[in-house]
Chain A
Amino acid sequence: MGQDQTGMSAVVEATNLSRFYGVVLGLNNVSFAIRPGITGIVGPNGAGKTTLFRLLTGQIKPSSGELKVLGGSPWNDLNVRAQIAYCPEDEAVPQGVRPPDWLTGLGMISGLSAKQAKAKAAASLERVNLPAVHWRKPVTALSKGMKQRVKLAQCLMHDPRLIILDEPMNGLDPMGRAEFSAVLRELAADGASVLISSHILQDLEALCREFILLRWGRMPTAGNVAANAAKSELAFDTSGKAGTVPIKVAVRWPKETTIRCEDPRKLAGFLMGRGLLRGCDIDEDGTTLVARWDDPAAFYDSFHGHLLASGVAIYEVNAPGSHLESAIEPPPLP
């Protein structure tokens, strides 16, 4: 594994990587390095995120350029694939199989003995908080949120070093997303690298230290990103090769957040009591709190915890003009 300018080993290195489907563009000449930790892949639909994931998991080959995952090629190196786990966006799961049976089979395909795989399946399902009552149901009969947990659990079976998650938070309620995020943080703390895409940008902002921006199969150039960053008060670390390193968001939290909830007044009082608010408004309907933060990082660094501790039922959290959203916004037409 190569090292980047900070001296950290890169888990993924792509050099002039392209992938085309006939005349259709998937990825076009992108170069980047992904360092250990949790990295977000962001971009609008059709940006090339899933193509990148398929390349990283060895399901497709690059049309040109070079891709190294954990020092090898995922297309034909079994040792590389033995260190990768993939949670696809697709909801399809095998028919008629219960979660423990499915996980045990997949664990054995990864190299575990039957006994090890059974034990690991139970441990993984517990780790993702799948209630025991769902263990006896076929995976196909589970709700979307429960399926997402099982899909994450199958990623944990062989203790991978790189976990790739494509829209894993779809269908999860706020509490489920908080639990999911906590598991990902634990995995990162245990030394696994996590690569995650999501359209729920607030969650990504709270979870990831670094991001890769994709747009129309390309990575925006450092100049474009910096221009957007300036507009949205973001600071990007482009200290590596221009446009080829993950973009480090140093100042990324929105100063204002709208929270639709059961009791905005109670929530405002709670947040004020914790010294998080600089000011706030409650909309005319009395259902939404517009919170202006004293120190946005103090709230966002553990926003799931703050909201859960408030005891107020939360329906929606939104940051108008999320900085990440601003960063991936396409540049205006000339």
Chain B
Amino acid sequence: MNDSTLNSTATGPRVAPRMGAAFQGVVRLMWAQQMTWRAMLPLAVGVGVLLLMTYLIDRDEVVSWAETFVLMTVLPILAFEAGARAVREDLKPGAVDYLITRPIPRWAYVVFKYVGQLAVTLIKATVGLILIVAMIRGLGVEINPIGLWFGGLVSGVAAFMALGFLMGAVTSRYLILGLFYAGLIEGAVGNIPIQLNKLSILRHLRELLAATGEVSAWPSLGFMGLIVAVLLAGAAGWFSTKEFIGEKGGES
């Protein structure tokens, strides 16, 4: 293997650490684990159920149902869960030993993992949504603008996945933390007409989807970007300082 990454000198690494290769390696492992037929089966079942529901919903209600239920409820939950589970899987004793001992900064690992997980989830979600949009159009109902709809999908998944990353990094009981967040921020603060309601991701998502001449999409997109950056920085910061003491905890 004649390559500049290999070093045959008596000291120093024989294979020099490279961030680009590390990113590809993280994504490759994720792809190998998640893009299999077995891993796709629950998704196929879920999309099938949603398609059936789309078919059964009243034609006048179907677009609003798709937005409020699919985009505002199902996708945020799935994105949150996918993000949190991605982090928790890597924090399992055994798994963490193989990854954290490799020459990659911990913050970079979290960012790479997030980008990879986002890509995998968006591919799956987009396929599902294309089928749902096709079904809605097949029923003779216009759904516009589709581009904005998918813009909402990307930003919503990105934000809720970042939230999942942070909560998954902090605790194995991320679902409890997620429910607490949903009740306090999305359910309560997000619906009160004060500045704090900007903390609500769903609020920005709603504004994004309803973007017309009155409400520009840019501020909401900006807030979504900021939220993703803050949540991801929190997850990366926490991951960087955490010590991995293994399954037995304090035992040696």
Contact = CB atoms under 8 A, between A and B. Distances in A.
Interface stretch (B26-34, B152-160, B207-215): B26-34
Q: Which of B14, B18, B105 has the most CB of A within 10 A?
A: B14
A60 B32 CA distance: 29
B39 to A, nearest CB: 7
A95 B33 CA distance: 7
B21 interface: yes
A98 B18 CA distance: 24
A97 B93 CA distance: 17
Contacts of A95: 33
Interface stretch (B60-68, B69-77, B94-102): B94-102
Given A59-B100, A112-B21, A104 B28 contact: yes
B16 interface: yes
Nearest to B240: A76
B21 A111 contact: yes
Interface in B12-46: 12-18, 21-22, 24-26, 28-29, 32-33, 36, 38-39
A107 interface: yes
Q: Which of B11, B247, B252 has the most CB of A within 10 A?
A: B252
Given A78-B103, A92-B95, A105 B25 contact: yes
A108 B21 CA distance: 5
Contacts of A93: 94-95
A94 B95 contact: yes
A117 B22 CA distance: 11
Interface in B94-129: 94-105
Contacts of B246: 50, 54, 59, 90
A110 interface: yes
A120 B15 CA distance: 12
A107 B11 CA distance: 20
A10 to B, nearest CB: 13
Nearest to B104: A109
A97 B32 contact: yes
B249 interface: yes
Interface residues of B, number: 49
B1 interface: yes
Given A82-B16, A94-B95, A109 B102 contact: yes
A296 interface: no
A58 B101 CA distance: 7
Interface in A42-84: 46-51, 54, 57-61, 70-71, 78-79, 81-84
A94 B100 CA distance: 14
B244 interface: yes
B245 A54 contact: yes
A49 B252 contact: yes
B252 to A, nearest CB: 4
B87 to A, nearest CB: 14
A13 to B, nearest CB: 15
B243 interface: yes
Interface in A16-55: 21-22, 24-27, 46-51, 54
Interface of B: 1, 3, 5-6, 11-18, 21-22, 24-26, 28-29, 32-33, 36, 38-39, 89, 92-105, 243-252
20 contacts: A26-B250, A59-B100, A78-B103, A79-B17, A92-B92, A92-B94, A94-B29, A96-B38, A96-B39, A104-B28, A105-B29, A106-B25, A106-B102, A108-B25, A109-B22, A111-B103, A116-B3, A158-B15, A159-B14, A217-B252
